[in-house]
A and B are shown apart, each in its own frame.
Chain A
Amino acid sequence: MIKYGHWFLALLLSCASVPALAENDQANPDFETLVQQLPQGNLRDRMATIEALVSSDDERLLNLLTALRNNDLLADDGEPPRVARRRDGQVFDVLSGELLLDDTVETLSRVPVNNMMRRQLQTTIARLSLNNDSPQVRYRAVRQMISDGVDADIIALLRERDEIETTLLVSNAIETAFALHRLDSDNPQTRLSAVERLRGSLESEARNSLRRLAENDEVTEVREAAAEALQSIEGRVTFYRAVESTLFGLSLGSVLLLAAIGLAITFGVMGVINMAHGELIMIGAYTTWMVQQLFPGLIEWSLLIAIPSAFVVTALVGIAIERGVIRFLYGRPLETLLATFGISLILQQAVRSLFSPLNRSVTSPEWISGTLTINPVLSITYTRLYIFIFGLMVFFALLLIMKKTALGLKVRAVSQNRAMARAVGVRSSWVDALTFGLGSGIAGVAGVALSQITNVGPNLGQAYIIDSFMVVVFGGVGNLWGTLVSAMSLGILNNYLEPWTGAMLAKVIVLVLLILFIQKRPRGLFPQKGRAADG
């Protein structure tokens, strides 16, 4: 397995390096001196520093200024001072990007900003974001302007950008801003043409303005046009809401898939009821946290380091469990269930005693935070997106291992007919240990992904164990594709129910539906056929 593990990890790593990692270490001496000047001097000096910073044209600039405006910029009184910014409750050095520990953070204090400076920052940030390289940042900037109210200055700024804008999302938003500006015109013809223009816009401000116009405008023609435009927009909004719901469902489904896929190997293929599966996920999540503690300077790379580490750590724990306990209990599933449940209690308590009963916060690297906006009503966070892609990658990697490698062949042979497999020379006990290690390792990898969206604490695993079993049983034991389909459909179902019933009741309803489903099809959606079914 170790051999295949390497191959598998190499695949993961090569795929996962697609996101553009923020290159923080490119030196820009001007920028660095200026940043260190920022906390010093009187207000006038510092406003001048900001002006100078703008011309330095460094890509960290936007984050720096935004932090300053939001009171998230910190500095100490060293010479030169250390400048840091707070993000998601944690503090990073601005220049090195390093995660700062609590005792360093205590020496820092907030860099003060007054109203005049804040106004300067506001326009600077708007101009900077409007000309940022990323269309997402540009779009958010336009959107911010629309919601702050559009005046002649902003129109001039936008017109400038409109000339060179190439991304449809951004130029549409700019058009909307123009049209919203024209809505206030005294000329009914202008207003009418603006309404026509807004017909295609999904911005919530556009809808609000149209609603106002449909009720209050003095010209009947404009009122009717606005009402009609509003109606066509509402239709599209409903459509995109449904798309968004489905996407969220898929993303929830991919979380379920990640949690359940290791179980699909240990339970589905080997038939071992491993109640400690959730705790293996938890160990994977804790490995991520450990990696970040060990390498505070490599936060951006921490997940890519954590994936192979978590795989190795949990695979070893899994092999130890298999060799130490489970192998004595093959053929006695109920006893296996109880013994592995005991192991799960021991692991939970071990984590509680070793680290702390409190949750640990795992930092998200910058490249997976943020939101991808497709249009004003349809947006998805990068975390969800990456977890979805990652879930599918793990799934297909596993599928390849099971179908195309010698290990996979042996695993399937042993699970179908142990005696016959041994007769033709398969070392079944060795295969058992490796298969269990593989399933456990994948649970650990799932833990790395889950550490990005949930709290990392001793109870992390318990939250997923029942869901994972449900996914595997629903999909059909021993069928990887079934696991994929069942995870995704459960995710979508849960997500459609949630707005009506609330999160908890949705979960209850899904569980009850599953229990009823198992009555009808005790062997799941895609039952195994033929000889394997009798095993």
Chain B
Amino acid sequence: MLTQRLLTSDRGGMIVLGIIAVALVLVPILNMTLPRESPFYVSNFTVALLGKFLCFALLALAVDLIWGYAGILSLGHGAFFALGGYAMGMYLMRQIGERGVYGHPELLDFMVVMNWESLPWYWQGFDMFWFAALMILLIPGLLALVFGWLAFRSRVTGVYFAIITQALTYALMLAFFRNEMGFGGNNGLNDFKTILGFEIATRATRAGLFVASGIALILGYLSCRYIVTSRMGRVLVSIRDAESRTRFSGYKVESYKLWVFVYSSMMAAVAGALYVPQVGIINPGEFSPLNSIEVVVWVATGGRGTLYGAIVGAFSVNYAKTFFTTWSPQTWLFVLGSLFVLVTLLLPKGLVGLFNHLKRKQREDNPPPEAPSEDAATIKSPGGAA
């Protein structure tokens, strides 16, 4: 019953999930069993790269949930991603223990350098994984709760919301750059050794993290589908398209928006937490406003308001980024900049919209025998939320 609700009438989503599921099985096998010479061998670099992309896709999903379905454009979602990452980084730092450069049993290297006497109170407890996992969800969630409550209550919407979320992540970036904050300042947290007792640099751990990210993405996708196909999802869409009208119909617009905003922030945090052990570093640069805006472009490129479009966008834009930054770093910002302009001007429904459009055209040219099932949850006009 539930699977039917989540997956039928979501062909695009099923295809994307199918590909991810196959990749989750195949990639680690090809990486670990085949010899290096084999044409099907997947290098460690590719595994790490794909793992990163999976985390980005989860982040894009979080942004699409609020932007595509509730019309909330957040230019600060990178902040939640980075906070989740920092919480994970704190756990990983505490795991280093006496293996640090200074070999102090409790204090981290940068604290020793700064002549700190004892561990600050907010670093307590992060040596336990369950506590860190809880904090990964709680800290960004609480921040989103307070911030969202303040913003939605006073009806800060649209562009104003976008700008203050950008200011939020900017303020956090400045704060985390300070050494006195106790998060490693400019250098951030890095040089991790183990996660849950496993060596972090081994092939098996990397494969494990890759699979974990993929599973998180699939679960995230299904939960988002659950939300948007529920009654609440329909209220969210109506808020996006006509906020005042929804309010006058008796719905508590603020509560709906707040709930979905907090949920989305937690998804972003999980993505960040899975991202950090795979790249091995978290620093204040992750808070930079550019990162958050890039996420919005992934979603816009893929196709806003379709969920699987966000995944497609995250993969394609990041693949392009990897390609261009290795081929010619200078051109990447030109490409990214043009992408912003071209997608908004020419492709308002993104790649997914373009693909559907082409398919529909083809179908019109030679009509199929059966009537196509129209997607109930796919949004017909994602342009009206502004």
Q: Could you tell me the distance between the alpha carbons of A336 and B155 in the complex, rounded to whole angstroms?
A: 21
Query: In this complex, what residue of B is CB-closest to A520?
Result: B154
A342, B166: Cα distance in complex, Å: 16
The answer to whether residues A511 and B345 also contact, given A349-B333, A522-B156 and a CB cut-off of 8 A, is no
Interface residues of B in 255-289 (CB under 8 A from A): 289
Q: Is A505 a contact of B154 with CB atoms below 8 Å?
A: no
Q: Is A164 an interface residue (CB 8 A)?
A: no
- Considering the complex, which residues of chain A in the window 334-356 have a beta carbon less than 8 Å from any beta carbon of chain B? 334-339, 341-346, 348-350, 352-353
Q: How far is it, in angstroms, between the C-alpha of A335 and the C-alpha of B345 when the chains are bound?
A: 8
| B204 CB within 8 Å of chain A | no
State whether A342 and B337 are in contact (beta carbons under 8 Å apart), knowing that A353-B330, A519-B154 are contacts in the complex.
Answer: yes
Q: Does B339 contact A (CB under 8 A)?
A: yes
Tell me if A343 and B337 are in contact (CB < 8 A).
yes
Are the CB atoms of A345 and B154 closer together than 8 Å? no
**Which single residue of chain A is at the shortest CB-CB distance from B288?**
A462
| Cα–Cα distance between A476 and B317 once the two chains are bound (Å) | 37
Count of chain A residues near B, Cβ 8 A: 42
Contact B177–A504 (Cβ < 8 Å): yes
Is residue A515 contacting chain B, with contact meaning CB distance below 8 A? Answer: yes
Choice from A338, A349, A505, A515 contacting B168 with Cβ under 8 Å: A515
B116 contacts chain A at the CB level, 8 A cutoff: no
Binds A, one of B122-130, B187-195, B293-301, B358-366: B293-301
Q: Which B284-329 residues have a C-beta within 8 angstroms of A?
A: 289, 293, 296-297, 300
**Pair B341/A334 contact, Cβ less than 8 Å:** no
Interface check A328, CB cutoff 8 A: yes
**Contact across chains for A339 and B159 when beta carbons are under 8 A apart:** no
**Assuming the A-B contacts A337-B159, A337-B162, A466-B289, are A514 and B337 also in contact, with contact meaning beta carbons closer than 8 angstroms in the complex?**
no
A339–B297 Cα distance when bound, in Å, is 10
Known: A466-B166, A519-B156. A504 touches B174 (CB 8 A): yes
A212 interface residue per 8 A CB criterion: no
Taking CB as reference atom, which chain A residue is nearest B289? A466
Distance of A273 Cα from B154 Cα, bound (Å): 21
Report the minimum CB–CB distance from B280 to chain A (whole Å).
26
The contact of A338 among B160, B167, B296, by CB within 8 Å, is: B296
Q: Is B150 positioned at the interface, with any CB of A under 8 Å from its CB?
A: yes
Cβ distance B164 to chain A, nearest Cβ, rounded Å: 5
Q: Are A508 and B386 in contact (CB under 8 A)?
A: no
B41 interface hit (Cβ, 8 Å): no
B221 at the interface (CB under 8 A from A): no
Which residue of B167, B289, B293, B297 contacts A515 across the interface (Cβ within 8 Å)?
Answer: B167
Q: Contacts A341-B293, A342-B338; is A508 near B333 (CB within 8 Å)?
A: no
Determine the distance from Cα of A514 to Cα of B164 in the docked complex, in whole angstroms: 9
A339 and B344 within 8 A (CB) = yes
Q: Does A395 contact B (CB under 8 A)?
A: no
Residue from the list B160, B178, B339 in contact with A342, Cβ < 8 A: B339
State whether A345 touches B386 (Cβ < 8 A).
no
**Does B18 sit within 8 A of A, measured CB to CB?**
no
**B367 in contact (CB, < 8 A):** no
A181 CB–B CB distance under 8 Å: no
Write out the residue numbers on chain A whose beta carbons fall within 8 Å of the beta carbon of B162.
334, 337
Q: Which of A165-215 contact B (CB under 8 A)?
A: none
- Residue-wise, chain B 330-355 has the 8 Å CB interface mask toward A (1 for contact) of 10011011111101110010000000
Q: How far is the CA of A348 from the CA of B334 in the complex (A)?
A: 9
Interchain CA distance A174-B324 in the complex, whole Å: 68
Within the complex, the shortest CB–CB distance from B344 to chain A, in Å, comes to 4
B208 interface residue (CB < 8 Å to A): no
Are A518's CB and B73's CB within 8 A? no
Task: Tell me if A418 is interfacial: C-beta within 8 Å of chain B.
Answer: no
Closest-by-CB residue of B relative to A509 is B171
Asked whether A61 is an interface residue with its Cβ less than 8 Å from the other chain, the reply is no
Given contacts A342-B340, A345-B336, A473-B160, contact A519 B150 (CB under 8 A): yes
Pair B171/A511 contact, Cβ less than 8 Å: yes
Contact between chains at B178 and A505 (CB < 8 Å): yes
| Interchain residue pairs with CB less than 8 A apart (8) | A337-B73, A339-B341, A345-B340, A349-B333, A349-B337, A350-B334, A518-B154, A522-B154
What 9 additional pairs, Cβ within 8 angstroms, besides A346-B334, A505-B175?
Answer: A334-B162, A334-B386, A335-B344, A338-B296, A338-B297, A344-B337, A466-B289, A514-B167, A520-B154
Q: Which 8 A-B pairs have the closest CB atoms?
A: A342-B340, A345-B337, A346-B337, A349-B333, A511-B171, A342-B337, A342-B341, A339-B344
Residues of A within 8 A of B (CB): 273, 325, 328-329, 331-339, 341-346, 348-350, 352-353, 466, 469-470, 473, 502, 504-505, 507-508, 511-512, 514-516, 518-520, 522
